[in-house]
Amino acid sequence: MTHDHPAAADRAVPRPFGRLLTAMVTPFTADGSLDLDGAARLATYLVDEQANDALVISGTTGESPTTTDAEKERLLRAVVEAVGDRAQVVAGVGTNDTRHTIELAAAAEKAGAHGLLVVTPYYSKPPQAGLLRHFTAVADASGLPIMLYDIPHRAGVPIASETLVRLAEHERIVGVKDAKGDLAATSWVTSRTDLAFYSGEDSLTLPALAVGGVGLVGTSTHFTGALSKQLIEAYERGEHDTALLLHRRLLPLFTGIFRTQGTILVKAGLAASGLPAGPVRPPLVDATEAEVAQLRVDCADAGLELPA
């Protein structure tokens, strides 16, 4: 069942989490333990120097598969304390277990999160009825606004457009991190709902804005944040030529950060820049010298310098 709202296209879509969010890496110390001071410093840099309106903590980029529930809570508290007065902190709480997701959502709310990122249950490939029930159960159990995370190439199943339209009826389901890469589907949903669509792929930010998106949840934005924010704002002002120039400038890093798994190269780049990062946890592996050298080239091609 779908509900058409033709007037939705004419209304100003709300931006519940602002325009720019970064899915923040989780800094670790040299021995692989949680670096809470580093997390606070990195969050401060991302908000104060990279123009982020909000940060996503404990997303995949934050190595959520290999951090414990207790670590997630401590990390969230540290980031809320560091930047929560001037940026929203969105907690990644999605798992492939509805009960566990609800537990993580409750812990995040108690720890001061401003919103939740809830990914499609992965690996078990539930049908759409299962997705509807999962996301609704989490939204019913929490008092926080929720951003759904639609990423079929990781989760194994997409959130169907019809399912998104039905989920939009829930007062606390307010946004989507859209990494489906299907702009026609994005356009279909943004024309029928008030869901705030955030590009989940850095390189698709500009085209996503053109079909009704409101911003970006980025990975390369650890480095491209301020310029990505300028791109979004230029588009909104109707300065489409400027937005296109910024898109083309940043494209080498929008895509280059994913030459290997994104967390790996972000942490390598942060380390080279003297910012908190530390090693990755297995099964991820730290960047090779060749990968770091290529990252320097990609940064230079985007007009950004990665210190030698």
The three-point CA angle 139-144-150 to 5° equals 55
The catalytic position among 177, 180, 229, 267 is 177
For the chain, count helices (H), then strands (E): 12, 8
The three-point CA angle 162-167-172 to 5° equals 160
Question: Cis (ω within 30 of 0) for the bond into 283?
Answer: yes
E strand residue ranges, 58-156: 88-92, 115-119, 146-150
Q: How many whole angstroms separate alpha carbon 276 and alpha carbon 40?
A: 9
Nearest to 144 by CA among 14, 16, 13: 16
122 is catalytic: no
Q: How many whole angstroms separate alpha carbon 113 and alpha carbon 79?
A: 9
CA distances from 235 to 24, 55, 177, 239, 245 (A): 25, 22, 19, 5, 11
The catalytic position among 45, 122, 149, 235 is 149
Residue 167 gets the label, from left (phi > 0), alpha (psi -120 to 50) or beta, of alpha
Q: How many whole angstroms separate alpha carbon 163 and alpha carbon 132?
A: 7
Contact 194, 168 (CB under 8 A): yes
Bridge-based pairing state of the strands 196-199 and 173-178: parallel
149 is catalytic: yes
Positions marked active-site: 149, 177
